[in-house]
Amino acid sequence: MHQLGLNLARLLKAGDMVLLTGPLGAGKTTMTRGVGEGLGVIGTVSSPTFVIARTHKREASPVPLVHVDAYRLGSPAEFDDLDIDLARSIVLVEWGRGFAEGLTTNFLDIEIERDHTGESEVRQVTVLGFGERFESVDARERFAALAAGIDQGADPGQGTNPRSETAE
């Protein structure tokens, strides 16, 4: 999941929102750590469960990474009350499905599934893009190549299966 986050970071820019969905232990925070590392954030990315949202400044960019854990939010209005500058930030939202969609029309929805027995480290990752930014053919091809590269253990664009991700 970390490697997928590293690769995803190369494709993100200010105004992008990514929703991360999956059960506890699926790898949402691990993926976010990879994104943070790929974006060059200052400090360690950790789960914002108790603070709900954490802003991470970056070494070489004025565009921060905002990491949100929406698990304890009760309504989309509470998400809006976080007053995140969506246009000038890259926002990753764990447990964000149902909360964040009303704030922007352009977002990625990434669902992470794992073996139900918990015995395997293999994950299946489904990436859905919404809005003009993520629905274009070019964007779909880039994100499919990103996932395929992880699946094959190669550079993005070298693999063949855009739905699976087997790396940690």
- 10-residue mean pLDDT profile of the chain (168 residues): values are 91 94 91 95 86 92 95 86 92 89 87 78 85 79 67 37 35
Distance between CA 27 and CA 102 in Å, rounded? Answer: 25
State residue 150's pLDDT score: 56
Residue 24 counted as domain residue: yes
Residue 109 counted as domain residue: yes
**Domain residue limits at 110:** 2-121
Helices (H), the chain: 2-9, 28-39, 76-80, 132-135, 137-152
Average pLDDT, the chain: 82
How many domains are contained in the chain?
1
State residue 42's pLDDT score: 95
Residue 46 counted as domain residue: yes
Residue 107 counted as domain residue: yes
State residue 22's pLDDT score: 92
State residue 149's pLDDT score: 62
Cβ atoms of 132 and 138 within 8 Å: the answer is: no
User: Residue 47 is part of a domain; what is its CATH number?
Assistant: 3.40.50.300
Residue 136 counted as domain residue: no
State residue 157's pLDDT score: 33
On the CB side of 35, how many CA atoms lie within 13 Å of its CA?
28
Residue 67 counted as domain residue: yes
The reported pTM is: 0.81
Residue 131 counted as domain residue: no
Apex 59 CA angle, 54 and 60, nearest 5: 120
Condensed to tens digits (0 to 9), the pLDDT of residues 49-60 reads 778 999 999 999
State residue 161's pLDDT score: 31
